Amino acid sequence: MTISNFDQIVTVSEYTKERSVKEFFDWYMQTSDALWNWYDPQDKEKYEGVHSKLGMVFRKEGIILAHYGKKYYGDMSSATIQPSFDGEPYDGIVRKEGEEVRVEITDSIDGPQWDEDREELKRCGYSVHDLVATEVVALKVQARIREVMCKKCGKSKDGWYGENKTVLIITFDDTHLGWKETRQKYRDELVEFKRSKIDTIKHPFREILLFGWCEKQFIGTVAGAR
């Protein structure tokens, strides 16, 4: 079939359909491949489709929900996942054995922030590939994760997410945490940061997880997931 527009690849009803976690992961990966095979940044209609509200939600929240379901519920055949699109204070729901777990996803860093960091490092005389520079960025990543967590905790206290009903996933950009050979060092530091600076704080969430965009890996465990 020839694909002529974005709606032939993904629709709201198709994206928000409840599926088993395996079915959702497989559907997401196949649909994502179809989307990028179709996409042409020079084509205005295709660009607008991929950068539409649904396109952004599919690309940013959908991929994390797919990996979240696979990692934490992949061996539970009865577990299902249902992404949300509009009107809900969370990005998806996992259902298992009569229990619902809400999932909220938020970014700790975006492109403009990294551009600002890079300019700041240049002003200080560092190359972005210097070890010292990388350590500076790693500390900024930790600070922003903490800042985002505090903001989300404030909203939860206002009744947005409920007490112990929602898993909060905070994404971070690990492409700037050194080369592949040294990235594990900073990941280990993030593991310790989460243990000592996040897990020790009283918060209203069921669990707080960290997710690195580059390696698609989570930091943290979900009680009762497996």
Query: In this structure, what DSSP letter does residue 83 have?
Result: E
Tokens of 85: 């699109």
Angle at 122 between CA 118 and CA 125, to 5 degrees: 140
Whole-model pTM above 0.75? yes
* pLDDT on residue 102: 92
What share of the chain has pLDDT > 70, as a percent? 81
Element spanning 168, H or E:
strand 166-172
* 27-40: average pLDDT: 94
* pLDDT on residue 133: 61
Domain ranges of the chain: 6-95, 107-219
* 10-16: average pLDDT: 95
| Pair 94, 222: CB distance under 8 Å | no
Q: Is the predicted pLDDT of residue 121 greater than 80, yes or no? A: no
Q: Is the predicted pLDDT of residue 139 greater than 90, yes or no? A: no
What share of the chain has pLDDT > 90, as a percent? 42
Closest CA to 10 of 65, 58, 63: 58
Torsion-angle region of residue 164: left (phi > 0), alpha (psi -120 to 50) or beta? left
Provide the edge-to-edge strand list for the sheet that holds 166-172: 19-20, 80-83, 92-96, 99-107, 166-172, 207-212, 217-219
DSSP characters for 24-39? Answer: HHHHHHHHHHHHHHH-
Tens of pLDDT along 164-187? 789 999 998 777 666 666 677 778
Q: Is the predicted pLDDT of residue 80 greater than 70, yes or no? A: yes
* pLDDT on residue 180: 62
pLDDT, the chain, mean:
84
